[in-house]
Structure 1
Amino acid sequence: MKRSAPQQAPEIQVETQGQMQPGAIEYAQEKVRALTGRTREPVLFARVKLTRMANPAMERPAIAQANLDVNGRPARAHVAATTMTEAVDLLQDRLGARLERLEQHWEARRGRTPAPGSHEWRHGSEPTHRPDYFPRPAEDRQVVRHKSYSLAWETPDEAAFELETMDYDFHLFTDIGTGEDSVLYRSGPTGYRLAQVRPHPELVGPAAVPLTLSELPAPRMNAAEAKERLDLAGFPFVFFADAATGRGNVLYHRYDGHYGLISPVE
């Protein structure tokens, strides 16, 4: 569908941290502006953050992040590379895939998320473009961010759409078919896996995305016990039922080596 009127390109805000090569800010603005000019819906806000890590031991010290507001719907991408120019190029590719998926969503009926296309990360080598975790000793790690919000009631297909457009590693939501707090995450090279506080395989409807369902209930524990399990298992996150509320929570590794905690608002 063509636009009914020309759209004014938003100002591309760029934040930097660390030493930048000359022209890095302008290059990032140019690459992201090229994407905003191709969207059917207006881009209301665009921000890019460029970070150059000072640690000489890091193989990919250049990190690029982007957050866009596409007519009220967010889109996000996060990549790492050897040089900042390479990072911005990867950011453009990854963000472009998210905008393409968002474009499809405008045309689709709610709940009928398009199946993943051949250009998405799991069909190539894009997982290696994720930033590296800072190797912080376990005894120094703390929960430095705690987010609480009302979980969206969604189908697994809608959850997969949110995960992809926001470039998340996992997505915490309430499954609309079972009423259970659930987490969706990428599993293997071609699909997703769904875990629930109390699994109900018979109530999870058919999904457009390739999906497997864990039949194990979420362990019931507090945040301290979840932290211990996360340290021992080496997983990127732990999904658990809070010992006090019974609601689904996620404790996860942040790229700075600390932890983040996501919990539902009661």
Structure 2
Amino acid sequence: MKRSTPQEAPEVQVETSGQLPPHAAGYARDKVRAVLGQAPEPVLFARVRLARTANPAVERPVTAQANVDVNGRPARAHVAGHTATEAVDLLQDRLTEQLARLAQHWEARRGRMPVPGSHEWRHGSEPTHRPDYYSRPVEERQIVRHKSFSLVRESPDEAVFELESMDYAFHLFTDADSGEDSVLYRSGPTGYRLAQVHSRPHPAGNVAVPLTVSELPAPRMTVAEAQQRLEATGFPFVFFADAGTGRGNVLYHRYDGHYGLITPAE
């Protein structure tokens, strides 16, 4: 079988906000379109959001986010820069990494190559590209986004793939082997950590990624109690078992200084 040839890139939608140079939208469109031309499968949709905050306290005021659909498989990249040009260049680099992972995924599905080893999942300088958190006073913070959906049943390796392809800070899912609601996140420069509602310290089967598993069960609490813990610990998110349902939830800090809440759909 022949390797997939480069696909014709679609038109890239660009949305802008804040004070940006006149050339910024066109620059973002050209840079992202150049990357999409090397996608392993047809790109069905591509959108870029480019924004500059007016807050002078933000060190990297320009954020750039790309969302693409590669033949039904989503990918996402989210970065921040000192200028619009820097942010777009970082976005191009990050999106190139995301599409390379998708290429590995497609090749593996076709049986052309084995599942990637742990060295291929290293995220290196991941924290450096992310936007800065806005330091909003605690008394002003609210849950401004609540997402509820059926959790995907997958293995830890598949969860890492989702985490990296979508450029998430964490990924909430249901472990396919144990049936436990679980959260996976980065740990150290090259590893990942798994926490579950009821801890299973030794996942069944072979795990390709460098993974450690928390031995502690998720604390059972209300959303209000989770908010208190989030502020007390200073962590970017809190994984907890809902006091009413017992299902795994995640309360997290958003970049705008407010909170987001993710819950499983019953």
CA drift of 1:127 comes to: 1.3
- How many angstroms apart in 2 are the aligned matches of 1:204 and 1:139? 44
CA distance in 2, matches of 1:126, 1:168: 11
Aligned-partner Cα distance in 2 for 1:107–1:10: 22
CA shift at 1:39, angstroms?
A: 1.2
Aligned residues: 262
Query: For residues 172 and 258 of structure 1, what CA distance do their matches in structure 2 show?
Result: 20
Rounded Cα–Cα distance in structure 1 between residues aligned with 2:175 and 2:121? 28
**Normalized against structure 2, the TM-score is what?**
0.94
What does 1:234-249 align with in structure 2 at a 5 Å threshold?
Answer: 234-249=234-249
CA distance in 2, matches of 1:14, 1:178: 42
Letter matched to residue 252 of structure 1: Y
- Partner SS for 2:182: strand
Partner deviation per Cα, 1:219-240 (whole Å, 9 max, x = no partner): 0001010001001110000000
List runs of 5+ in structure 2 lacking aligned partners: none
- Give 1:227's aligned amino acid: Q
Does structure 2 conserve the Cα–Cα contact (< 8 Å) formed by 1:113 and 1:157? no
Cα distance change, pair 116–58 in 1 and its aligned pair in 2 (3 A): farther
- Partner of 1:121 in structure 2? 123
CA contact (8 A) 2:122 2:191 kept: no
1:15 is aligned to 15
* 1:101-116 alignment runs, 5 A limit: 101-109=101-109, 113-115=115-117
Seen in structure 2, the aligned counterparts of structure 1 residues 26 and 120 have a Cα distance that, compared at 3 Å, is: farther
Matches within 5 A, 1:1-266: 1-3=2-4, 7-109=7-109, 113-115=115-117, 117=119, 120-122=122-124, 125-266=125-266
Deviations 1:20-64 (A, max 9, x none): 112111110111111111112000000000011111121100110
Larger deviation: 125-134 or 146-155? 125-134
State the AA in 2 paired with 1:44: L
Q: Tell me how far 1:9 sits from its aligned partner.
A: 2.2
Give the conservation status (yes or no) of the 8 Å contact 1:170–1:184: yes
Contact 1:113-1:158 at 8 Å conserved across structures = no
Inter-partner Cα distance in structure 2 for 1:113 and 1:213: 21
The alpha carbon displacement at 1:128 in A equals: 1.7
TM-score, length of structure 1 as denominator length: 0.94
Give the aligned CA root-mean-square deviation in angstroms.
1.7
Q: Helix, strand or coil for the counterpart of 1:148?
A: strand
Would the aligned equivalents of 2:40 and 2:106 in 1 still touch at CA under 8 Å?
Answer: no
Q: 8 Å contact 1:151–1:264 — kept in the other structure?
A: yes
Unaligned runs of 5+ in 1: none
Percent identity of the aligned residues? 70
Give structure 1 regions of 4+ aligned residues with deviation exceeding 4 angstroms. 116-120
Deviations 1:184-231 (A, max 9, x none): 000011100000000112443321000000000000001010001001
* Structure 1 residue 129 displacement after superposition: 1.8
Provide the rounded CA distance (Å) in 1 between the counterparts of 2:78 and 2:15: 14
CA distance in 1, matches of 2:8, 2:180: 43
Q: In structure 2, what is the Cα distance between the partners aligned to 1:229 and 1:175? A: 25
